[in-house]
Amino acid sequence: MVFKVKRNADGSIDHYKAQLVAKGYNQHPGFDYLQVFAPTVCLSSIRVILTLAALQDLHLHSLDVSHAYLNGEMDCEVYMAQPEGFVEGDPKAKVCLLQKAIYGSKQGGNCWNKKIIYIYFKDDLDLTVTIILPVFVDDITLASKSAPAIQSFIAQLSQHFKIHNLGPITQLLGIKIDGDHSKHSISLSQRYPQNAQEAETMHQTPYLSATGALMYLATTTHPDITYTVGVLARLNSNPGWTHWLTVKHLLRYIKGTIDYSITYSPDSAQPETFIMFSDADHGGCKDTGHSTGGDVVKMGTGVVSWSSKLQNVIALSTTEADSGTWQLSNSSKG
């Protein structure tokens, strides 16, 4: 059993969750699982959809599918020991034959992916409706120009899945979302840590856990710390005391900018839908001689995608380093 505390956008506790997770590491490929691939929406795509919602005045709604993986049918014969606390008869003689793709199973995500849809389109004589559904495991966001169409779709979806209707979107994946329809704007922010107790806990957290938490901030709503977190993450396997002091310095910076947000709204000075910036240093890493390349993609007034990473090869000039940044950015964006 895995236990988790689910929180609201302001950090308060919403509910406590207990989840049964199978020991999928005991499964064998080709015997009790076949396919494991399951796509999930990337954070850049989520930010693009939220920006489109701001620019085009779309309605945004949030859903949570209860026990999402259990909606997928198991594609192989898989047995599991009876869960603790729910044993019937002799646990050594009786085991569970899984009919649903339980969490922890190798094929769980793949089976769930076969059940869900990502774009809903309906065209009839009276109305044409498109609803975009970015899905992150069991968290679903609905974006559409028609609020009634969203409600109708939710009613249809509820006939197939157990849905937790969260209403107009206020948070997603720990990101607080504030929208202003009159200004066609949406702001994304994260308050981290949530309180003094959590801050004290973070100060006592080992280096790897701290950098992991900071990495999530850097990839969601804090492009300003991306480079620093990337450098700190390179030292995860063998950090020194100076590196830990740097982590704590970065945490103090986060506390000082806790109310900062990324705001997406129309930009009259930028007629293009997207604009991209890229740059690189030359041999910035003194240990390896590699250059660090960075890029930012801007949409409206906010940035929707960014990265900062060491280049794969050693550049012999600033021109070559900048060229490597463009090639890196071009390939990573597909």
Residue 151: the pLDDT is 92
Q: Let me know whether 170 and 29 are in one domain.
A: yes
- Three-state secondary structure readout of the chain: CEEEEEECCCCCEEEEEEECCCCHHHCCECCCECCCCCCCCCHHHHHHHHHHHHHCCCEEEEEEECCHHHHCECCCCCEECCCCCCCCCCCCCCCEECCECCCCCCCHHHHHHCCCCCEEEEECCCCEEEEECCEECCEEEEEECCHHHHHHHHHHHHCCCCEEEEEECCEECCEEEEEEHHHCEEEEECCCCCCHHHHHHHHCCCHHHHHHHHHHHHHHCCHHHHHHHHHHHCCCCCCCHHHHHHHHHHHHHHHHCCCCCEEECCCCCCCCCEEEEEEECCCCCCCCCCCEEEEEEEECCEEEEEEEEECCCCCCCHHHHHHHHHHHHHHHCC
d(CA 311, CA 308): 9
Measured between alpha carbons, how far is residue 41 from residues 46, 78, 139, 140, 197 in Å?
Answer: 7, 28, 10, 10, 33
How would residue 334 be classed by pLDDT, with cut points 50, 70 and 90? Answer: very low
Pick the last residue of a domain from 171, 189, 207. Answer: 189
Domain count, the chain: 2
**Both tokens assigned to 278:** 């890229």
- Choose among 298, 248, 259, 262: nearest CA to 278: 298
The pLDDT tens digits of the residues spanning 21-79 come to 999 999 999 998 988 998 888 889 999 999 999 998 899 999 999 888 998 889 899 99
Q: Let me know whether 121 and 20 are in one domain.
A: yes
Q: Are 133 and 118 in contact (CB under 8 A)?
A: yes
Pick the last residue of a domain from 189, 223, 256. Answer: 189
Q: Let me know whether 47 and 185 are in one domain.
A: yes
d(CA 248, CA 22): 37
Proportion of the chain above pLDDT 70, given as a percent: 90
Q: Let me know whether 58 and 138 are in one domain.
A: yes
Q: Let me know whether 33 and 180 are in one domain.
A: yes
The pLDDT tens digits of the residues spanning 162-188 come to 998 989 998 888 888 998 888 889 999
- Choose among 207, 58, 60, 240: nearest CA to 140: 60
Q: Let me know whether 120 and 138 are in one domain.
A: yes
Domain span at residue 58 reads: 2-189
Residue 272: the pLDDT is 82
Residue 87: the pLDDT is 86
Residue 330: the pLDDT is 53
Q: Let me know whether 18 and 73 are in one domain.
A: yes
pLDDT mean across residues, the chain: 85
Q: Let me know whether 121 and 227 are in one domain.
A: no
Pick the last residue of a domain from 165, 189, 213. Answer: 189
Q: Let me know whether 33 and 138 are in one domain.
A: yes
Give residues with Cβ within 8 angstroms of 88, minimum separation 6. Answer: 82, 94
The pLDDT tens digits of the residues spanning 79-101 come to 988 888 888 888 888 999 999 98
Q: Let me know whether 164 and 240 are in one domain.
A: no
Q: Are 36 and 141 in contact (CB under 8 A)?
A: no
d(CA 218, CA 230): 9
Residue 249: the pLDDT is 92
Q: Let me know whether 221 and 170 are in one domain.
A: no
Residue 18: the pLDDT is 87
Neighbours of 230 (CB within 10 A): 18
Q: Let me know whether 162 and 219 are in one domain.
A: no
